[in-house]
């Protein structure tokens, strides 16, 4: 379990763009345009105005999060420091490493949150309680 990552290990990356007058393409090649092997892709859509998502951390999961359409905000915390990112370009993505609490909010109408994940879905990889998260983080920083 990598719980000593900090918010500074989470990076905004620029993805490739193939520009064309008739529209652009952003390709994501496994292990080339993304720094981990992709095991799962999912996307969040039809988010009602004012809704908030996330509110958890992962023990081992790495993710690349992209606003494929529209915009939303991601707040991340390592239990010590916080950072807020606004994703609003389909060619930019935020890498979130394990051990980071995340909250997503301020979804624009019709926005699509596209996620590339390093593992298939596993509920036991989630930490859904912020107090438990802080305890695990503090233990990790002592050991």
Return the H-helix or E-strand segment holding 132.
helix 130-142
CB 36 within 8 Å of CB 118 = yes
* Region from 1-9, 51-59, 61-69, 75-83 binding ligand TYD, contact rule CB under 6 A: 51-59
Q: How far is the CB of 18 from ligand TYD (least distance, A)?
A: 28
Query: Are the CB atoms for 67 and 89 separated by under 8 Å?
Result: yes
Binding mask 104-133 for ligand TYD (x = CB under 6 A): -----------------x------------
Selected range binding ligand TYD among 10-18, 53-61, 67-75, 82-90, rule: CB under 6 A: 53-61
Query: Of the listed 9, 15, 52, 56, which one is catalytic?
Result: 56
Q: Residue 124's beta-bridge partner residues?
A: none
Q: Tell me, residue by residue from 1 to 40, as one string, x for binding to ligand TYD by CB under 6 A and - for no binding.
A: ---------------------------------------x
Please name every residue paired with 71 in a beta bridge, in sequence order, or none if there are none: none
Question: What are 4's strand-pairing partners?
Answer: none
When asked if residue 45 is in the footprint of ligand TYD (CB under 6 A), the reply is: no
- Does the protein bind ligand TYD through residue 43 (CB under 6 A)? no
Active site residue 58: no
Instruction: Give me the DSSP letters along 8-65.
Output: GG--EEEPP-B--TT--B----TTTTSSS---EEEEE--PPTT--EEEEEESS--EEE
Give the active site residues: 56
- Write out the residues near ligand TYD by the rule CB under 6 A: 40, 42, 44, 53-54, 56, 121
């Amino acid at each position: 379990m990598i719980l000593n990552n900090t918010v500074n290990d989470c990076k905004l990356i620029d993805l490739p763009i193939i520009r064309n007058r008739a529209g652009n393409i952003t390709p994501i090649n496994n292990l080339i345009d993304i720094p981990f092997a992709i095991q799962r892709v999912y996307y969040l859509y039809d988010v009602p105005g004012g809704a908030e998502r996330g509110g958890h951390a992962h023990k081992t999961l790495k993710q690349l999060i992209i606003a494929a359409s529209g915009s939303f905000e991601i707040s991340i915390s390592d239990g010590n420091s916080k950072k807020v990112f606004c994703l609003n370009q389909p060619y930019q993505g935020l890498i979130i490493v394990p051990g980071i609490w995340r909250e997503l909010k301020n979804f624009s109408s019709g926005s699509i949150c596209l996620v590339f994940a390093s593992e298939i879905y596993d509920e036991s990889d989630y930490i859904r309680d912020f107090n438990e998260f802080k305890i695990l983080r503090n233990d990790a920083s002592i050991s």
